[in-house]
Amino acid sequence: MYEYRTQGTCSSRIWFDVIEGKVHSITFENGCDGNLKALGILAEGMDAKELIKKLKGLECHSKATSCGDQLARAVELALSQDGR
C-alpha cells in the first residue's frame, strides 16, 4: 500500500496499491467525500499509466492541481520507485 501526502488540495493523503500495473484500493483523506469515492471507484483496476495520462494536469478552480492530478502524481511516483 502506497501513501502519498497531497499538496494544494482539500484532500491531505491518498492510499492505493499498484498490482501488476493496475491501480487498486484508492482512498483519500479529507476532501469532497462523494467525489473522491467516485474517483476511487472509477479508477479501480485502471492501468496505472493510463490513469496518469488521463488525470495528470487537471486543475480545481483556480488551483494549479486537483485531487485527480495528485492521484496521478502519486501513481507516477510509485511507478518510478518500483523502477517502471
* pLDDT above 70 (res 84): no
Q: 1-42: per-residue pLDDT in tens?
A: 999 999 999 999 999 999 999 999 999 999 999 999 999 999
Q: Which residues of 21-47 are buried (b: 16+ CB within 10 A; e: fewer)?
A: eebbebebeebeeeebeebbeebeebe
Kindly report the pTM of this predicted structure. Answer: 0.94
